[in-house]
């Protein structure tokens, strides 16, 4: 979506604390080409899927509370047990919600979401450790329920229908209708649009439905990368993102960065722009890949231990 790409490009070009190393970026592009790396397919193990409207509603609930999985210092990581293994982070959330749907808990119904209590949510996301920002997750789900009831007959798929097969229109619609998806910052007096979870919802529909039915969007190539905390960690490991010494020390010592502050915005903007540059370099080499596909590759690299030698930046936020 042009407004996200243009505003993040401007912020990246004016960055003082974060820079993109073009040589390292080209080395990564060569690696992608030589190893013929492709994005992995949608993982059905942890996601609910009925090939219909219930999946649409499930994914919207998932992406409404898909953020900030790391624990505060001194606290244990939130984990849940699923099929004999302990899961954390995004996959734990996906599996929790899948289990709830399959158990008949009506988390995909707007009225239930609008009336959900904190106690209900704590039970839904039970496990060991503590998942932070639970009150904010509850507010997001309550808001989602109310908006679906008031604008879309309580149906998530009707919200998706309103975007008319456009991933970009869907992301814009979510950010306009739901405050929890309005992921917009200000940098040097100008707005920078990230819309991470709004764009991710479109990509999740595309992945779950394999580009068909409710994921049959015609403009997936216009989405940007989904600026979170895992992608910059991987890009930094690859040498593509370079931080100033002061920012490097903050990130490496896990000092919290300010939400909407210069440090956070520059990290996220350069993440989006670096992925765009990777796409352009690949295209020059004759390989077409979209930003959401490169994002998928990088995110999955971030699940491997070798990508975790340096910490990711930490911001207490509902946006990623």
Does 228 participate in catalysis according to the annotation?
yes
- For residues 305-317, one letter each, b for 16 or more C-beta atoms within 10 angstroms of the residue's C-beta and e for the rest, the string is eebeeeebbbbeb
Mean pLDDT, range 128-133, rounded to an integer: 94
- Residue 113 clears pLDDT 90, i.e. is over it: yes
Check if the beta carbon of residue 140 is closer than 8 Å to that of residue 64.
yes
- Reading the block at residue 28, the tokens are 């990564």
3-state DSSP helix/strand/coil percent for the chain, to nearest 5? Answer: 55, 5, 40
The pTM assigned to this predicted structure is: 0.96
**Sequence spans of domains, the chain:** 2-307
* Mean pLDDT value across residues 153-180: 98
User: Which member of 63, 183, 204, 228 is catalytic?
Assistant: 228
Q: How high does pLDDT run on average in the chain?
A: 97
Least confident of 75-84, 89-98, 208-217, 236-245: 75-84
* pLDDT for res 74: 87
pLDDT digits 0-9 by tens, 222-261 = 999 999 999 999 999 999 999 999 999 999 999 999 999 9
**Residue that is written with structure tokens 């580009």 in the block:** 211
* Among 228, 312, 240, residue whose Cα is nearest residue 30: 240
What percentage of the chain has pLDDT greater than the value 70? 100
For the segment 57-79, what is each residue's pLDDT rounded down to a tens digit? 999 999 999 999 999 988 999 99
pLDDT at residue 106 above 90?
Answer: yes
């Amino acid at each position: 979506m042009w407004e996200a790409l243009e505003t993040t490009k401007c912020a990246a070009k004016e960055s003082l604390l974060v820079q993109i190393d073009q040589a390292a970026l080209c080395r990564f592009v060569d690696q992608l080409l030589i190893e013929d790396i492709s994005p992995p397919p949608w993982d059905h193990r942890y996601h609910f899927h009925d090939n219909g409207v219930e999946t649409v509603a499930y994914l919207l609930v998932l992406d409404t509370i898909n953020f900030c999985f790391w624990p505060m210092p001194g606290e244990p990581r939130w984990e849940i047990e699923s099929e004999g293994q302990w899961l954390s982070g995004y996959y734990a959330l996906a599996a929790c919600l899948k289990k709830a749907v399959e158990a008949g808990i009506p988390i995909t119904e707007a009225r239930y979401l609008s009336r959900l209590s904190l106690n209900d949510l704590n039970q839904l996301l039970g496990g060991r450790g503590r998942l932070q920002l639970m009150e904010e997750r509850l507010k997001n789900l309550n808001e989602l329920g109310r908006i679906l009831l008031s604008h879309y007959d309580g149906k998530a798929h009707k919200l998706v229908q309103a975007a008319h097969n456009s991933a970009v229109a869907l992301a814009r619609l979510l950010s306009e209708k739901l405050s929890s998806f309005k992921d917009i910052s200000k940098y040097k007096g100008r707005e920078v649009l990230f819309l991470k979870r709004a764009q991710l919802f479109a990509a999740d529909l595309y992945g779950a439905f394999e580009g068909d039915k409710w994921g049959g969007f015609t403009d997936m190539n216009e989405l940007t990368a989904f600026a979170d905390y895992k992608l910059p960690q991987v890009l930094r490991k690859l040498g593509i993102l370079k931080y100033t010494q002061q920012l490097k020390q903050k990130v490496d010592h896990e000092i919290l960065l300010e939400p909407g502050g210069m440090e956070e915005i520059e990290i996220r903007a350069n993440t989006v722009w670096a992925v765009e540059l990777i796409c352009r370099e690949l295209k020059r080499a004759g390989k077409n890949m979209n930003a959401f596909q490169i994002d998928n590759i990088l995110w999955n690299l971030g699940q491997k231990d070798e990508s975790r030698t340096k910490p990711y930046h930490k911001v207490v936020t509902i946006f990623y």
